[in-house]
Amino acid sequence: MLRRQTIGIVGIGQVGMAAAYAIFQQRIAQELILIDRDRERAEGEAMDLMHAQGYVGRRRVRAGDYPDLKQAQVVIICAGVGQKPGESRLDLLNRNASIFKIIAEQLDEHVPEALLLIATNPVDILTYVMQELSQRPNQRIIGTGTMLDTTRFRTLLAEYYNVDPRSVHALILGEHGDTEVPIWSTVSIAGASLVKNDVLGEGFEREAMENIFERVRRAAYDIIDRKGYTNWAIGLVIAHLLRTTLDDQNSVLPVSVRLDGEYGINDVCLSIPAAVGIEGVTKRVLPSINDEELAGLRHSAEVLKESLAGIRLG
Ligand code: NAD
């Protein structure tokens, strides 16, 4: 018998709802359970989305609490708090880590087997924190990492070369944040390498390419300056990650995983290409990268480790 696919989302704000909308509209799961500390808001969102069944077909969307997640195969975590005026990054981090402590306890009690997909920022740090707090294996706790940055990168490169972004193979790895690393040495369009000046007969225009990466790196700031948050693209990222998981696709995606010697890096979560399926992260795929890119990844790891050192988990 086909098992009903039930998905939980914890944190029904802009990101949680953009993910819920994408999952619902793409018919990825039969049942969505929305959990937020503001129960009324979750109820309102569930009612609103439910009413579109006339277009997407029979699906359940309901507000709930942790015991309702019993049947969930995957739980998506987008719960978080914003920075208070005058608050340091580290204080904010510690407040989000305390929220994660409560969430981890609840999830371990009620859905110990579910895969956890983490989107809350700083996503690499909080993926590591959840791995420390939860009893489930680390391979079952995955951060969205640089998936968002990577789709931004592919989109802007595609715009430049005037091709379909899905035909552009490009990766941003490392931290989801300021130290992220564009992996120029692997960028290709249909196998034609960018750095080898192969693409559409055009040379590698260093300045134009650096400008593209800078726009990717600054994208969150630029969007937040204008609308106050980012949600649509990350919603689709989460839906894609969920689909590859539930369908056991083992798609290789730049997700945040705990490194164990890859590129000489240990004991920190950051994005490298990893195969994601129903068991979580099964394989890591390590493209050859140049010395500058390697140094960039190691720098990302150092910066993340400094933040981790300031976290209180007790
Ligand atoms: P938001 O403020 O709109 O939503 C956060 C929600 O979390 C709120 O509804 C709040 O009530 C809820 N919440 C807080 N504490 C909770 C708890 N203990 N239990 C349950 N719910 C709780 O914020 P948002 O814009 O949706 O962003 C959410 C997170 O996603 C932020 O950390 C943001 O930085 C991050 N984000 C990540 C990416 C990415 O690429 N990973 C992209 C965009 C945003």
Nearest CA to ligand 1 atom 28: 78
Tell me, yes or no, if the pTM score tops 0.85. Answer: yes
**From the alpha carbon of 118, which atom of ligand 1 is closest?**
41
Nearest CA to ligand 1 atom 42: 234
80 lines ligand 1 (CB under 6 A): yes
Task: Order across the sheet with 168-169: list the strands.
Answer: 168-169, 188-189, 192-193
Residues forming a β-bridge with 181: 173
Name residue 114's amino acid: A
51 catalytic residue (yes or no): no
Nearest CA to ligand 1 atom 39: 119
Ligand 1: centre distance to CA 94 (Å): 15
Locate 90 and state its tokens: 């580290």
Q: What is the pLDDT along the chain (314 residues), one digit of tens a residue?
A: 456 799 999 999 999 999 999 999 999 999 999 999 999 999 999 999 999 999 999 999 999 999 999 999 999 999 998 777 777 777 889 989 999 999 999 999 999 999 999 999 999 999 999 999 999 999 999 999 999 999 999 999 999 999 999 999 999 999 999 999 999 999 999 888 998 877 777 778 889 999 999 999 999 989 988 999 999 999 999 999 999 999 999 999 999 999 999 999 999 999 999 999 999 999 999 999 999 999 999 999 999 999 999 887 76
Given 169, 176, 240, 299, the catalytic residue: 176
Q: What is the DSSP letter of 152?
A: H
Q: What is the sign, positive or negative, of the torsion defined by CA atoms of 210, 212, 216, 218?
A: positive
Nearest to 35 by CA among 17, 15, 5, 8: 8
Ligand 1: centre distance to CA 36 (Å): 10
Ligand 1: centre distance to CA 77 (Å): 8
